[in-house]
Structure 1
Amino acid sequence: MQRRNVMRAAVAGAGSVALGFTMTRPSFAYPALPGTSPYGALQAADARGLQLPAGFTSRIVARSSQTVPGTSYTWHSAPDGGACFADGNGWIYVSNSEVSSGGGVGALRFDASGNVVDAYRTLSGTRTNCAGGATPWHTWLSCEEVDRGYVYETDPFGDDAAVRRDAMGRFKHEAAAADADHGVVYLTEDVSDGAFYRFRPATWGNLATGTLQVLTQTGSALAWATVPDPDGSPTATRNQVANTKRFNGGEGCYYTDGICFFTTKGDNKVWAYDADANTLATVYDDNVSGAPLTGVDNITGASGSGDLFVAEDGGNMEICIITPDDVVAPFLRITGQSGSEITGPAFNPAGNRLYFSSQRGTSGSSSGGITYEVTGPFRGL
Structure 2
Amino acid sequence: MTEQTVLISGAGVAGPTLAYWLARAGFRPTVVERAAGLRSSGSPVDVRGPAARVADRMGITEKLREASTDATAIRFVDGKGRRTGRVAMNSGGDIEIPRTDLAAILHDAARDHAEFVFHDSITGLRQDDGGVDVTFDRGAPRRFDLVIGADGLHSAVRRLAFGPEREFVEHMGVYIATLPLAGPTADRTEVVMYNSPGRAVAVHPSRGRGIAAFMFRGDALPGFDHRDTGLHRRMLAEAYAGAGWRVPELLEQVREADDLYLDSVSRVRMDTWAAGRIVLAGDAASCVSLFGDGSTLAMTGAFTLAEELGRTPDDAAAAFRRYETTHRKLVDPKLRNVSTAAALLIPATRGGLAARNLGTRLLPMVTAARRLVPACAA
Q: Same fold (TM over 0.5)?
A: no
Larger Rg: 2
**Which structure shows the higher helix fraction?**
2
TM-score of the pair, normalised by structure 1: 0.24
